[in-house]
């Protein structure tokens, strides 16, 4: 059973999903950061022993979270595709034909594929997107009067247990004027953050989002 967590920012309602996606209720919009499609194929090409099955896992995750929320709009917050066109682009092109929602891509540092290729798939590309007091970007931004939602960092935290036991897990990292989404892609790393007392941290497990002290 999937267990989400709801948080509120600037009078807006955001539902955090264990996949790493965020559903923005007021705009019927699904926000997803750092899928890094093509990364598995890119690394396999250069000899890395990455299981072939990892390629389809990203598409399975996308299907599951889209089915859960049924959004009218899907906004990818950068690094949708990891590198230049490879076989996963063809898979993405076929997959996008099954999606009824409007697709928007906020360009990230890894998004090097020509915008023309995205436009052919009816995907709108922008450097940022401002909706009321909410600013959607790839890199975390600080802008007066705005609540920023971004990706790029691949945030994670280290949880410590009894003795010397510890576990690193991905998380949603929320501050007063900002929330950074975890990387959605299955073949991505984590950047371990050290939260301050005023920060809010929501770790994700396979089927649950849990807020930790």
pLDDT tens readout for residues 86-127: 788 889 999 999 999 999 999 988 788 899 999 999 999 999
In DSSP terms, 211 is beta-bridged to 202
Q: C-alpha 194: how far from its chain's center? A: 20
Supply the DSSP symbol for 26.
G
Q: What's the confidence (pLDDT) of residue 49?
A: 47
Q: Report the distance separating Cα 174 and Cα 195, nearest Å.
A: 9
pLDDT for 51: 55
Residue given tokens 């090409």 in the structure block: 45
Q: Where are the beta strands (DSSP E) in 85-176?
A: 102-106, 123-126, 129-131, 134-136, 147-150, 155-160, 166-175
36: left (phi over 0), alpha (psi -120 to 50) or beta: left
Q: Domain holding 122: CATH number?
A: 3.60.21
Predicted TM-score (pTM) above 0.85 = yes
Could you tell me the residue range of the domain that residue 17 belongs to?
A: 5-212
Helix, strand, coil percentages, rounded to 5, for the chain: 20, 35, 45
Alpha helices, DSSP H, located in the chain: 39-45, 54-69, 87-96, 115-120
Q: Measured in Å, how far apart are the chain's first and last C-alpha atoms?
A: 24
Domains contained in the chain, number: 1
pLDDT in tens, 2-43: 999 999 999 999 999 999 999 999 999 999 999 988 765 544
pLDDT computed for residue 39 by the predictor:
63
pLDDT digits (tens, 9 = 90+) for 112-170: 889 999 999 999 999 999 999 999 999 999 999 999 999 999 999 998 766 677 789 99
The model's pLDDT over 182-198, given as tens digits with 9 standing for 90+, comes to 999 986 778 899 999 99
């Amino acid at each position: 059973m999937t267990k989400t967590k709801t948080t509120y920012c600037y009078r807006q309602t955001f539902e955090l999903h264990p996949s790493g996606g965020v559903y923005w209720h007021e705009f019927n919009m699904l926000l997803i950061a750092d899928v890094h499609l093509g990364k598995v194929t890119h690394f396999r090409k250069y000899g890395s022993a990455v299981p072939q099955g990892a390629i389809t896992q990203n598409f399975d995750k996308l299907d599951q979270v889209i089915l859960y929320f049924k959004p009218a709009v899907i906004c990818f917050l950068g690094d949708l595709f990891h590198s230049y066109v490879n076989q996963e682009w063809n898979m993405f092109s076929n997959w996008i034909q099954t999606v009824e929602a409007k697709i928007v891509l906020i360009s990230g540092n890894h998004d090097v594929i020509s915008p023309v290729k995205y436009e052919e798939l009816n995907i709108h590309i922008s450097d940022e997107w401002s909706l009321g007091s909410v600013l959607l970007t790839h890199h975390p931004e600080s802008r007066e009067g705005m609540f920023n939602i971004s990706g790029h960092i691949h945030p994670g935290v280290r949880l410590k247990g009894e003795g010397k036991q510890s576990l690193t897990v991905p998380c949603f990292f929320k501050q007063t004027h900002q929330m950074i989404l975890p990387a959605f892609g299955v073949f991505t790393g984590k950047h371990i953050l050290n939260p301050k007392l005023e920060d809010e941290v929501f770790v994700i497990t396979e089927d649950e989002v849990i807020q930790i002290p």
